[in-house]
Structure 1
Amino acid sequence: MAPNPMTVSGLLRQTVHYHLDNASYENALFFAERFAAQDPKSSEAAYLVATSHIRLRDFRSAYDVSKPAGFRGVHLGCTWVFAQACLALERHKDGISALEKSKALWSQKSCVGRHSPTSRTASPDASALLCLLGKLYRGYDDKKKAIGCFEEALKLNPFMWDAFLILCDMGVTVRVPNIFKLSEQVLQGFDQETAPLSVDPKENSMSGILEVSKKPSTRHAAAEWGPDPFATSSSSTDAPTQDTDMLAEVASHNDFMSKIQAARLRLANSANTASSMGGSETPTGGVAGETAVSRPSQEPPHAPARKARPAQVVESGLEGPPRMNYRLGTRRTRDKEKDDATQAIVDVVYQELDSSGGAAEKQRPTVPAADRKRTVSGYPVSRSTNADDSGTRRSARLNTFKPSSKANAGASSIGAPAGRELKKARPQISRIVRPGSSGSNVGRVVSGNRKPVECSAVDQGDTSKSRENIHQSSVARTTEPGIIKVEEALRWILDLMKKLGSGYYHLSRFQCDDSLQALSSLPAAHQGTSWVLALMGRAHFEQAAYPEAEKFFRKIRVQAPSRLEDMEVYSTILWHLKRETDLAFLAHELIDTAWLSPQAWCALGNSWSLARDPEQALRCFKRATQLDPKFAYAFTLQGHEHVANEEYDKALTAYRQAIAADRRHYNAYYGIGKVQQRLGVYDKAFAHFQAASTINPNNAVLICCIGEVLEKQKQIVPALQAYTKAAELAPRAAQTRYMKARGLLAVGQIEAAHKELMILKDLAPDEGTVHFLLGTLYRTVNDKQAAVRHYTIALALDPKAGPKIKCAIESFEDDQPMEDSMIE
């Protein structure tokens, strides 16, 4: 006999998901192809095959497999994989078109917080899709739409970290505190364990007590993509949840049946809790402590079994269902809350009886149930102190509907009309609950609910309100601690992300001091992570504080020796510090660890450059760009090496390739400006320096370069303003103060120039140009003795500048004016 094709497909689907979750992507691809062969018209099979190719980084195969359904946007899974393949293959327009077509299938709610070790959402939510769409728009060079997609993704899900990083890398101005803040939507997303406790008590009284987390998005996805293999269906702990869900759906069609089942489940939950404490058996014959919820069926639910000799049961202490107290050898009394909670069902029973005409003119009992004693099964008894009370209690459930029973007689004698007999109501209840069934089970259903007869139908609205208030109060007591814990944890995580995001955002805008301040406020455990250490090292690197930056990167090498990200920056730091041995050792380690990483080849190129072998350095930099054509820093290092060899055309080409890879790579603009400055094209040099300064406005070297170009164009005052700003940004930079002092001397501000030179002499006491400029200043004020002394010191410190210094001394003795070229 041939097996059921649907069963075969379901098993293959589960096998594919199993291998995907266990990173056995080759196995997943094998079984996904079997699934596709079994059901060739299934879009889900194509999705699983394409997903396996994506995990194996076979983007072309994933593109081809997912294109039929993905490009048309008819299956969200295929579209998701197809767009990812388009992003990897740089076919951005196809991916954008596919995602735009599939917007009708998007889940508009965020699924963050709905994943656990045993459950997940089968389809990506709107935030993930928007983030992918933003990446495609960015690759398509549509900056405006890309920013809009990333913003919408962060609004739906503040944990979409890559969207935030891309916005920072694009230079977009963002308000970090407004992104990483707790919202009601995020809190509800993570509060899955207590979310069903907020169910409206009007819908179903049992749903707020027994339901575990219902995941609407997961159900929607399962309906769309097929059964989720990760949804637990046979777990004993989940059985009450599933039974309750199915019972709630059946009961929604019949209000009377819904209330009967609701009360039955609430009482069963209390009875099982008590029996588990006392060691008794469950109604279904199971071991005590198991959930006594029967499988849904067309028959009315059975009442919990009762023992002939009730045992003493300790209160369980659980909140939620009404509690029942038992005492050995005495009659049981119910709580007032339980009377209020169960009165509604009795009223419904009488309403159905009245509507059917069985006892329309009969008056209901009017004695309050709280003032009357009851039997073990919960029905009222007479006030007489009969010696056979124990026997009456034993058979109270079965004799309730018999007119000759003592219990019934007692009940009818207390305010009930003499002509009323509950036995007449039994056929009507049977027809209401289960048409066509025998009457023997009806008494069991009614007695199982144990509903006391209370006042009149006038009080039905009050008792319903009371039941809702009791339910809401129990829900509040149960959910409040869980919600508070979740909210506190979310606030802490979002505050942590706000500090991390502020540090990265300020660094992306080259506000290094603000970045270091934000990162320093992190907890010590997070400050010691390699990602944070790399950010702090880069912040010091951008400030040209190479010794401090080297300390952070040294910690990274000890903590995470296999980390490759930012190692090209570390190699440049060692190049500036002239640590030839350390740089060679770093390059050797990186090459041995990751032969095909561009960072390793950049480190090797810097090592050859420091060893003054430009040809080998250029080969290494070119190899890095071959491995990653989007690695802008490798192109920039290649351009610097060409400038050192005075190969300006090749240098310009390398810098332009770096800008094409990253338009915010200010180092490439700076390189082009330096080449144009050497070629004497000052207007183009000024434009590129200005562009680099726009990206990085806090770099003193760039502002000094702008001042130099302006000074070459005889614009002394604007140049002096640039030098002053650079000195404010880097007060301990000797080159910046030297340029400022020279500009002040050129405009005739002798006192300000002298003040700057005194500071500069303390910063660089062994620099010959500083003493030469001091000699020029003293020559201007006609202090011959001080001028000759500083000229002599300059000659001793820099013998190569001897001819220039001698000309300055001779012109000073002959009282000739000093030329500008001599000052330079």
Structure 2
Amino acid sequence: MALSTGHVASQLRHLVYYHLDNNLIRNALFLAGRLHAYEPRSFEAQYLLALCHLQNGEVKAALECSQGSGSRGLHVGCAYVYAQACLDLGKYLDGVTALERSKSLWGSKNHWNKHSETSRQHLPDAAAVYCLLGKLWQAHKDLNKAVDCYVDSLKLNPFMWDAFLGLCATGVNIRVPNIYQLSPELLAIISASPDDVDSVSGHLSPTEGAFSAQTTGNSGGDPFMVSATRGEVDATYGSSALWEKFNGSSVSVASVPPPVIHEGMETPSSQSSGSEEFRIANGVTDPGSAWEPPFAPARKNRTIQTMSLDHTGQAPPKMRPTGIRPRTKTRTEFEEPPVGPADREPPPAPRIGDRKRTVSGQVAHPLPPQPTEPGAPQRRSVRLFNQIKPTTSKLSSSALTGRDGREVKKVRSAHAKGRPATTSTMGRVSLVLHLFPPPPVFPPLPKNAERSKELEALSWLLGLFTKLASGYSALSRYKCPDAIQHFNSLSQGQRETPWVLAQLGRAYFEQAMYGEAAKYFSRVQTLAPSRIEDMEIYSTVLWHLKNDVELAYLAHQLLEADRLSPQAWCAIGNSFSHQRDHDQALKCFKRATMLDPEFAYAFTLQGHEYVANEEYDKALDAYRHGINADNRHYNAWYGLGTVYDKMGKLEFAEQHFRNAGTINPTNAVLICCIGLVLEKMNNPKNALVHYERACSLAPHSVLARFRKARVLMKMHDFKFALAELKVLKDMAPDEANVHYLLGKLYKMLHDKGNAIKHFTTALNLDPKAAQFIKDAMESLDDDDMEDDDIA
């Protein structure tokens, strides 16, 4: 017997996926090499080899393996892996070009709700590709196109969290409730069975899409050849109205554009945008003949007792009772292990006299339904139903199928007598029963109860994502009180997770509430000691709190967890910085930027150390590198403003401080910096406006009230200045500058007793400033002598 090349390739693919699913990447890589050697022209073999290289961390090898077909857009998997490798290697436009060329292969795919413990889709769908496109455009610094791609990704799959994070990183205004809502399209996917007509959105299921394609465009040829009409049908099989009012847009995903043929693209002319898996499985590896893998064919119209062996020499599997009419088991039914599309064998040629059927086993040209007559022969579904003994296993055919044969028989005898039951009618009835209360004559059906539970779970999940997304969106726009409110509205189980606690810590950090931030980050360390993300912020919090012991311990813990992470080296650098060892701190921060050139915060910390060493030119260069890595990193803009302020270039300082304030309009420190520059530019009125705004944003900010009181003294508004300083004295009783300023104010008010009292307190709190304080006290005595002379 001749060796079946299709079966050999199928077994190798099974082995590759087995090892990938079990995280045995090296084994999968070895087997993918065997498969590629066995089928060097197969796109799927190239894809699996490149995928294994990518998951093994061999990015350049993945690029080389997928470049041949991926760069030309001939296979969606190869193009996707190629684009991922391009993202890692900085070849952003090459990745974008590959994905755009393969758009006809993925533009109509939506795999939401099609993955489970026993089945999966190994090729990316449109939501995943749009998300990757957004990352490529964002890395290329084209934020407008990145936003468009992220929006398209979230329209198709609202749970694409990477796309949402990318949107937040661009700084656009996001209306979160419009993303996470229960749309008619989501209802359709949950409620309608795979063989039903989608009565919510009005689109056909994939099975009926294949039926339409074959009956219209390919009725006379191979029954497994699917025309391009299939792509148009699949284009609307998803969630399309999730973002109807997002950013004022009324775009609907239902209107997906037709496949675009790019110049130089090797695309089959009259075939679907699917892929060549089925043809490769059967030994056909022609790159120019890629098409959709069909569903498994249905059995012929024969009784179970007379079924003969198929062309493979094996008896077909026994049929299970499926309710009113039998149908081919779809991929969503899990009573038996699923079989991939590439593993199915083509059906035997139809015999003469048989009615032509579609890929799914349905009649291509069904006869019009006839009313049931007493003398008419039994329907095939009724004969099969009577011959098969009912079981109590779960069935998943149509919406009206009960849990066992007795329930189905009862329902049919009560309500379906005297009228035909077609697939489309049953689908509509199931949706009506689900969306509205059933009539009293219909008993509640288990299938609808199960779908009701799915909808309830989906609603809960959308509500959870709404809270998480609202909190993160508010934090990305530095609306920290709103972010804290959203995160605290989560249930305790969701709130007490490392990611949420880290976001709460960041929210308090941005408000300069370092004590509260440290509490949340400490809980993160307790729950996840090896967590690296956001720990550079925790190290800065400990630096502000002057907690040298905890900072050194954190640096040691992060270095032990991952010595090649930039967060660990930022923590080590902050520890050296706290010890005033700026040179060692700079070495650590430079190591962090070498490990990740896009880590903007490490460049900013470099700039701070250069400022401490008074190396202003190097500080400017470091801050500019930080802005180049992340244009919305307001800390780098603040650093530039600080350097220009120290250099006496007040106009440049004001411009950069305002840029930082535009990104983070709720930061009281930035607003105080703008006010300070205006104060130095002899514009005390505008400076007072900024100080008052800073005090309203941060009522507990000592810096804002101090500068506000000082500018009020310059404007000779002593009454309000005294009121501010009294409040400030209660807030910071151990702050020497506050008592010194109070002494100067009482001196202006000619209150010598209070002036001496506060000057003395300031001297005790800060002995290093003794010379300035003594000069002020001596000038107080000189003023008294002048007053005596005048008298």
- Please, what TM-score do these two structures have when normalized by structure 2? 0.74
| CA distance in 1 between partners of 2:294 and 2:366 (Å) | 33
1:225 aligns with 2:303: no
Q: How far apart, in 1, do the equivalents of 2:756 and 2:94 lie? A: 75
Q: 2:686: which partner in 1? A: 718
- Amino acid corresponding to residue 616 of structure 1 in structure 2: Q
Q: Could you tell me which residue of structure 2 aligns to residue 340 of structure 1?
A: 418
Change (3 A) 1:646 1:235: farther
Which of 256, 263, 269 is the aligned partner of 2:379? Answer: 263
- How far off is 1:198 after superposition? 5.7
CA distance in 2, matches of 1:523, 1:775: 51
Partner of 2:388, secondary structure, is helix
Cα deviation for residue 98 of structure 1 reads 1.4
Q: Name the CA distance, whole Å, in 1 between partners of 2:43 and 2:113.
A: 28
**1:575–1:606: 8 Å Cα contact kept in structure 2?**
yes
Picking from 553, 562, 565, the partner of 2:521 is: 553
Shift of 1:520: 0.4
* Greater fraction of residues in helix: 1
Instruction: Give, in whole Å, the separation in 1 of the partners of 2:430 and 2:598.
Output: 64
Other structure's SS at 1:814 match = helix
Give the whole-Å Cα distance in 1 for the aligned partners of 2:535 and 2:469: 22
Which AA in structure 2 matches 1:19?
Answer: H
Paired residues of 1:126 and 1:153 also in contact (CA < 8 A): yes
Provide, for residues 143-184 of structure 1, a one-character-per-residue CA deviation record: whole Å limited to 9, x for no partner. Answer: 111111111111111111111111111111110110111112
* Letter of the structure 1 residue corresponding to residue 618 of structure 2: K
Take 1:674 and 1:75, find their aligned partners in 2: how far apart are those partners?
Answer: 52
Partner of 2:364: 252
Change (3 A) 1:739 1:237: farther
Q: Give the SS at the match of 1:804.
A: helix
State the 1:786 CA deviation: 2.6
Which residue identity is paired with 1:802? A
Does residue 572 (structure 1) correspond to residue 540 (structure 2)? The answer is yes
| Native 8 Å contact 1:319 1:478 kept in 2 | no
Partner of 1:105: 105
Q: Following TM superposition, by how much is the alpha carbon of 1:107 offset from its aligned partner in structure 2, in angstroms?
A: 4.0
1:70 aligns with 2:122: no
Selected match of 1:485 from 453, 464, 487: 453
Pick from 617, 636, 648: which aligns with 1:680?
Answer: 648
1:349-388 superposed matches below 5 A:
none
Q: CA deviation at 1:108?
A: 2.0
Q: Does 1:640 align with 2:614?
A: no
Partner in structure 1 of residue 333 of structure 2: none
Decide which of 649, 657, 660 is 1:689's aligned counterpart: 657
Supply the distance in 2 between the matched residues of 1:692 and 1:261 (Cα, whole angstroms): 81
Unpaired segments ≥5 residues, structure 1: 209-214, 278-288, 294-314, 325-334, 346-463, 819-824
Query: Do the aligned partners of 2:72 and 2:98 also contact (CA within 8 Å) in 1?
Result: yes
Deviation at 1:21, TM superposition (A): 1.8
1:136-285, aligned counterparts within 5 Å? 136-191=136-191, 194-196=193-195, 224-226=276-278, 243=328, 249=361, 251-253=363-365, 255=367, 263-269=379-385, 272-273=388-389
Residue 43 of structure 2 is matched in structure 1 by: 43
Aligned to 1:369: none
1:323 & 1:601 partners in 2: Cα distance? 69
1:121 and 2:128 correspond: no
Contact 1:114 / 1:190 at 8 angstroms: preserved in 2?
no
Aligned equivalent of 1:391: none
Alpha-carbon contact 1:251-1:261 (below 8 Å) kept? no
Contact 1:512 1:542 in 2 (8 A): yes
Give runs of aligned pairs for residues 405-554 of structure 1, distance below 5 A.
477=445, 479-554=447-522
Given residue 756 of structure 1, which amino acid in structure 2 is its aligned partner?
A: E
The CA distance in 1 between the partners of 2:736 and 2:415, in whole Å, is 95
Moved more, 667-676 or 120-129: 120-129
Q: CA 1:778–1:487 in 2, change beyond 3 Å: closer, same or farther?
A: same
What residue identity is the alignment partner of 2:468? L
Residue 6 (str. 1) matches residue 12 (str. 2): no
- 1:786 matched to 2:757: no
Which letter does structure 2 place at the counterpart of 1:774?
L
Letter in 2 for 1:225: E
Letter paired with 1:722: H
Contact kept? 1:270, 1:323, Cα under 8 Å: no
Change (3 A) 1:503 1:290: closer
For residues 162 and 394 of structure 2, the distance between their equivalents in structure 1, rounded to whole angstroms, comes to: 46
Measured in 2, the distance between the counterparts of 1:640 and 1:654 equals: 9
Seen in structure 2, the aligned counterparts of structure 1 residues 755 and 100 have a Cα distance that, compared at 3 Å, is same
Q: Quick one: distance in 1 between partners of 2:778 and 2:654?
A: 37
TM-superposed deviation, 1:243:
4.1
Q: Percent identity between the aligned chains?
A: 46
Checking the alignment, whether the CA contact within 8 Å between 1:14 and 1:229 is kept in structure 2 is: no
Corresponding residue SS for 1:815: helix
Alignment counterpart, residue 764 of structure 1, candidates 724, 728, 732: 732
Q: Which amino acid aligns with 2:567?
A: Q
Structure 1 pair 263–603 and aligned structure 2 pair: CA distance change class (3 A): same
Instruction: Label 1:499 to 1:316 Cα distance change in 2 as closer, same or farther (>3 A).
Output: closer
Tell me, in whole angstroms, the C-alpha distance in 2 between the residues paired with 1:66 and 1:340: 59
CA offset digits 1:310-339 (Å, max 9, x no partner): xxxxx9675444569xxxxxxxxxx46565
- Write the distance in 1 (CA, Å) between the matches of 2:747 and 2:431: 95
Q: Deviations over 1:102-134 (max 9, x none)?
A: 222224242110111222224321111111111
Question: Aligned equivalents of 1:643 and 1:116: distance in 2?
Answer: 55
* 1:641-698 superposed Cα distances (whole Å, 9 cap, x missing partner): 1211222222222111111111111111111211111111111111111111111111
Q: Distance in 2 between matches of 1:620 and 1:9?
A: 51
Residues 183 and 679 (structure 1 numbering): CA distance in 2 closer, same or farther, change over 3 Å? same
Q: Give how far 1:187 is off.
A: 2.8
Q: CA deviation at 1:56?
A: 1.2
Counting matched residue pairs gives: 644
State the SS of the aligned residue for 1:249.
coil
Give the Cα separation in 2 of the matches to 1:96 and 1:191.
36
1: CA distance between counterparts of 2:427 and 2:542?
A: 74
Pair 598,555 (structure 1): closer, same or farther in 2 beyond 3 Å? same
Residue aligning to 2:671: 703
Cα displacement (A) at 1:483: 2.7
What is the one-letter code of the residue matched to 1:148?
Answer: D
Q: Deviations over 1:37-59 (max 9, x none)?
A: 22222222211111111111212
What is the aligned partner in structure 1 of residue 81 from structure 2? 81
Q: Which amino acid aligns with 2:380?
A: R
In structure 2, distance between residues paired with 1:156 and 1:785: 73
CA distance in 2, matches of 1:593, 1:128: 30
Q: Structure 1, residues 602-658: CA drift from partner, whole Å, max 9, x if none?
A: 111111222222222222111111111111111111211121122222222211111
Residue identity matched to 2:367: D
User: SS in structure 1 opposite 2:33?
Assistant: helix
- The CA distance in 1 between the partners of 2:585 and 2:112, in whole Å, is 47
Deviations 1:226-255 (A, max 9, x none): 369999998878796764788973533453
Tell whether the 8 Å contact from 1:187 to 1:490 is kept in structure 2 after alignment: no
Distance 1:510 1:63 in 2: 39
Q: TM-score, normalised by structure 1?
A: 0.72
Mapped to 1, the partners of 2:394 and 2:747 lie a distance apart of 102
SS of 1:251's equivalent? coil
CA distance in 1, matches of 2:426, 2:579: 87
RMSD of aligned residue pairs (Cα, Å): 3.8
Which position in structure 2 is the counterpart of 1:669? 637
- Greater CA drift, 509-518 or 176-185: 176-185
1:236–1:230 Cα change, 3 Å: farther
Q: Comparing 650-659 with 546-555, which one deviates more in the overlay?
A: 650-659
SS in 2 for 1:629: coil
Q: 1:261 to 1:91 in 2, by over 3 A?
A: farther
Residue of structure 1 equivalent to 2:336: none
> Cα 1:624–1:341, aligned 2, differ >3 Å: closer, same or farther?
same
